[in-house]
Amino acid sequence: MPSPFPGMNPYLEGPLWSSFHAQLCAEIARQLTPAIGPRYIAMVDERLVIDTLDDISIATRVIRPGVTLAGKQRGAPAPAAVLEPPLRMATIIESEIPMHFVEIRQIANMAVVTVIEVLSPSNKDGEGRSDYLRKRRAILNSDVNLIEIDLLRGGQRLPMRDALPNDPYFALIHRASSRPVADVWPIGLRERLPVLPVPLLAPDVDAELDLQAAFTGAYDSVDYGRAIDYSQVLKLPLNELDADWVASVLSGSEAR
């Protein structure tokens, strides 16, 4: 079923994001390729980001009925006591997460002209954020254009000289010709995702990326609506106005 929301779907900001992220990058490349030919090609690439599993409850003391802890026993120790650990604690497990992005390359020499990054939670917190900021810094110090699309309310905002507006989502376009100034699209939850200009090499005019069309194509490609339980409370709460709007949208969707 189609997404009930006209723009971003906040229910994707969770476990489904990794899958959706890959689909969205593929849809962006698919949409742009005919628009930028024959001089350019849009290609999905990936890098591996180290992340840690940090949602495990740790330091749980295990006490069974009839079993006393070491140092508190009287008389002969119960044989069963040696089978029960005093503590259960989670270790740090690092995993490699594939992070997809889109590169626009000039076909003549396959040089990268523009990089399109759709941010993931690993880009916005922890060690993954540090890795992403290093890549970001390298691009911003080169002659490559950078487009950053942030459709996640959680995590830290992208670093700018001045604070970004208080909107949930953003798209930023860093043109090599106008740095350090970037073009910023603040995006509200209740808004359609924008059509973004995609810079190419001079004298070629910008291509257009219909972000909403790419989002809808990615959502429909695997029917994410079947995997979302819209009766669940969002893990990251919305402000009161947006929460009321989401409730009304879902109520209307159920009525249909």
Long-range CB pairs of 211-216, under 8 A, 24+ apart, other chains included: 211/149, 211/171, 212/7, 213/31, 214/24, 214/27, 214/28, 214/31, 215/7, 215/8, 215/24, 215/27, 216/2, 216/3
The per-residue pLDDT for range 95-110, each reduced to its tens digit, is 667 789 999 999 999 9
List the domain boundaries for the chain.
12-56+98-231
Banded pLDDT at 80 (limits 50, 70, 90): low
- Confidence (pLDDT) at 90: 75
pLDDT at res. 49: 66
Closest-CA residue to 222 (of 30, 16, 45): 16
Helices (H) and strands (E) in the chain, counts: 5, 10
Question: Binning pLDDT at 50, 70 and 90, where does residue 68 land?
Answer: very low
Type of residue found at 200: L
The whole-number pLDDT of residue 79 equals 58
Tens digit of each residue's pLDDT (9 = 90 or more) over 192-217: 999 999 999 999 999 999 999 999 99
What the block records as the tokens of 34 is: 């005919």
Residue 254 binned pLDDT confidence (cut-offs 50, 70, 90): low
Q: Considering the domain 12-56+98-231 in this protein, what is its CATH number? A: 3.90.1570
DSSP state of 181: -
